Amino acid sequence: MTGSRLALVCFHLMLLAYPGYAMAFGLDDVADKARALAGEKYQKPEAAPDFLKNLSYSDYQSIRFKSEQSLWRADESRFQAMMVPRGNVYSNAVQLNVINGKGVGPVEFDKSRFEYPSQELAKRIPADLGYAGFRLTYPLSGGEARNQFLVFAGASYFRGVGAGQTFGLSGRGIAVDTGLPSGEEFPAFTEFWMERPSTDSKSMVVYGLLDGPSLTGAYRFDIHPGKSLKMDVTAKLFFRNDIELLGQAPLTSMFYYGENTLRPTGEWRPQVHDSDGLLIHDGKSGEWLWRPLVNPTQLERNYYHVEDLKGFGLLQRDRQFAEFQDNEARYDRRPSMWVTPRGGEGAGWGEGEVVLVEIPTRAETNDNIVAFFKPRRSVKSGETLELSYSVTAGEPGITEQPNGRAVRTFVGAASDDSTLRFIVDFKGGELTGIKPDATVVSQASGGDGTEVIEHFVEYVEASDVWRLSMLAKTAPGKRLALRGALKMDGKPVTETWTYILTPGTGLLGKSQ
């Protein structure tokens, strides 16, 4: 054997012995499975036994994974994985696998990895029940503690946080017909493959297989935890059926009420929401569009056209405890989530619409907000689509937005009880440090049927903001659509604030 061949053999033996090395397995392997699956008839996954599906939320939460059973715990790896039990809304089983130097192997179900609230429940757990998903941990706070920062569980949902944050809104693999009268489909991740990270690794890779009535998909997630969580996502989708409304990179959140809405009867907290607005960046026009969220009286679906999408996300700009006063939920620590497309129209992006779906809710337990990108071209049965994008979770600054931002929106009835006063406070960007007598100019316009009666801007020293005040009205029974921004020297110095208000909010009496 020559010296070069001997060196090559030794190199391969070394890789096999190294626990963090992943054997040849990648997105193409998952895509082969997804492509073959798309050619078969969709099979609905088997649900968990009724006694598990019928567990109350609190009873389900009392099933605890034993942290000492975490994957890669014995190696003291920076990354560790904890399994999610089936039950309550997490009914479907998900096959988990690990990729390491020995190849690809399953993570076998073992109910002894969990602590159950009673021996009676523990006895009823089938030995082959399977897991509902997994949680990843990482030492975000320093030291030896492992912090949960990313969870894959339930349909195609995943939740992530940056350092010091609490879980809030979710991302999803894909959305199908969200908000349409025909009803929404919920494709689900049915199998995951986790590349075993090296002990001191600062990133890891996860693959996912998606299956649903109208499509299948193969996903690769390159995961980078830290002050902000960043995931680079690559996906290959295969369509069984035509889809009327395809939602790329969907985000799901909760908005119950806020500073721009009436407080529900009996509620003492100032605000209750995981996110307070949708932000969109169109690269062609350069515009940054901010849309405060509302809890409508009927389902609302709004489309925001973009010629060259550079990013969109659901943000939680309210960051002070005093704005919520909830010591348990800590909505002030909920993350924002920002989607950045990678690649042009050939990669599934480019021109299209960012869709915002708002669903009425009477409780904070319901996720009633969905935002996603709708491509210009519809998809047909037998077609494929490749997507490449990044999802970042963290503080609102993850957007790297350069201009002034709307930090507060207030709405109230004017003195004559037939019009509404809108107050929008802007801060940051080019507004920072300018003199109170600077020539900042207000700009406001109304949509079809909305009349802007007046608008002006003033500097508020007490809170160091530039306040845009607008008086607007609309015909009885019509929805109000309003836009506003600030300019200086003829150029925009803030994002464009936009607002939709539907009848029945109670701000102008019962009819309005």
Strand 255-257 and strand 215-224: the pairing is: unpaired
Pair 389, 342: CB distance under 8 Å: yes
Confidence of residue 144 (pLDDT cuts 50, 70, 90): confident
Mean pLDDT of the chain: 92
Distance CA 315, CA 317 (A): 6
Confidence of residue 502 (pLDDT cuts 50, 70, 90): confident
pLDDT in tens, 1-43: 454 444 444 444 444 444 444 457 999 999 999 999 999 999 9
Question: What pLDDT does 109 receive?
Answer: 97
Confidence of residue 374 (pLDDT cuts 50, 70, 90): very high
Distance CA 119, CA 130 (A): 19
- What single DSSP character describes residue 64? E
Strand partners, 136: 81, 150
Query: What six digits make up the tokens of 32?
Result: 């082969």
CATH architecture, range 29-399:
Distorted Sandwich (2.70)
Question: What pLDDT does 346 receive?
Answer: 46
Question: What pLDDT does 504 receive?
Answer: 74
Task: With CA atoms as reference, report the closest residue to 336 among 246, 399, 267, 401.
Answer: 399
Burial of 2 (0-12, 13-18, 19+ CB in 10 A): exposed
Question: What pLDDT does 435 receive?
Answer: 94
Report the predicted TM-score, pTM, of the whole model to 2 decimal places.
0.93
pLDDT in tens, 237-272: 999 999 999 999 999 999 999 999 999 999 999 999
* Fold (CATH) for 405-501: Immunoglobulin-like (2.60.40)
Task: With CA atoms as reference, report the closest residue to 152 among 211, 216, 56, 81.
Answer: 81
Confidence of residue 327 (pLDDT cuts 50, 70, 90): very high
Distance CA 464, CA 346 (A): 45
Percent of the chain beyond pLDDT 90?
84
Q: Which of 201-205, 268-272, 283-287 has the lowest mean pLDDT?
A: 283-287
* Residue 298: CA count within 13 A, CB half-sphere: 5
* Residue 354: CA count within 13 A, CB half-sphere: 26
Pair 187, 211: CB distance under 8 Å: yes
Average pLDDT over every residue of 168-191: 97
CB under 8 Å to 308, separation ≥6 — which residues? 282, 283, 284, 350, 351
Question: What pLDDT does 349 receive?
Answer: 80
Neighbours of 159 (CB within 10 A): 22
Confidence of residue 348 (pLDDT cuts 50, 70, 90): low
Enclosing H/E stretch for 188: strand 188-195
Distance CA 385, CA 238 (A): 7
Pair 239, 38: CB distance under 8 Å: yes
Question: What pLDDT does 92 receive?
Answer: 95
What's the chain's Rg over C-alpha atoms? 25
pLDDT above 90: residue 145:
no
Q: Looking at per-residue confidence, does 475 or 180 come out higher?
A: 180
pLDDT above 60: residue 512:
no
Query: What six digits make up the tokens of 228?
Result: 């902000």
Average pLDDT over every residue of 47-73: 95
Confidence of residue 205 (pLDDT cuts 50, 70, 90): very high
CA diameter of the chain:
95
Residue ranges, comma separated, of all CATH 2.70.98.10 domains in the chain are: 29-399
Enclosing H/E stretch for 352: strand 352-358
How distant is the alpha carbon of residue 153 from its chain centre? 14
Q: Looking at per-residue confidence, does 226 or 417 come out higher?
A: 226
Strand 188-195 and strand 95-100: the pairing is: parallel
